[in-house]
Structure 1
């Protein structure tokens, strides 16, 4: 891997030509494609894994998007009150951390949901809330999601 690419991809300001190797599993029979991973040449030419901070962030974002989508979908299917972006960001990170998902902070959850909205995986749907007589923006899995019970 050229030094310039290593400096950008791996965040190693002292990278030199040929020290890092970028790889990706191109085909997998039973499972989604995997993201790119990096190896570093060690003593004697041994290849050692390198954990890229940016890739760790992307993996966390992907998991948070999947968890948020599953939560919104299950609440829609069960007819429960929909969640707002603030609501999911305030409540779920603590529960997901207890389940062992490190990095599930309010900020990370809200950022992942914002990405899911940009990717049109989740949608913001405005509904009237009779409790406070205002329009409230809820999260939904479709732009024309059915109305959930108020309350």
Structure 2
């Protein structure tokens, strides 16, 4: 389900509503490796499948920040704003990583609009994202993501 709006100002009337649940996205080892290369975080639990097989998670896991970095993709999957100049990542209010994301698993996000208000610089929206792991009862990530629409 995609919520379609004419302008960012239309978000204000949707405060507190769930905007939708995204499609599943598979987390792959090449994706994790590219993220490790981009960030310099080559910890073996992410990048060494053989060593990680004997580790605490019985295989490699995605970086928590890789999961979090999918926020723009997740929001775009459930929200379309027709008259959009830009969507700027403005910050985070709270982030937690309750469960690891095993490489090869699928994740999706439930996206809720926690707040939206007019600012002098545009509309500021706070999206609550709860990342689910296919087959798990615990979320991978729970985050309040702030987006500015100038």
Q: In which range does the TM-score fall when normalised by the shorter chain?
A: under 0.3
* TM-score, scaled relative to structure 2: 0.26
Tell me which protein shows more strand as a share of its residues. Answer: 2
Larger Cα Rg: Structure 1 or Structure 2?
1
Structure with the bigger RCO (C-alpha within 8 Å, sep 6+) is: 2
* TM-score, scaled relative to structure 1: 0.26
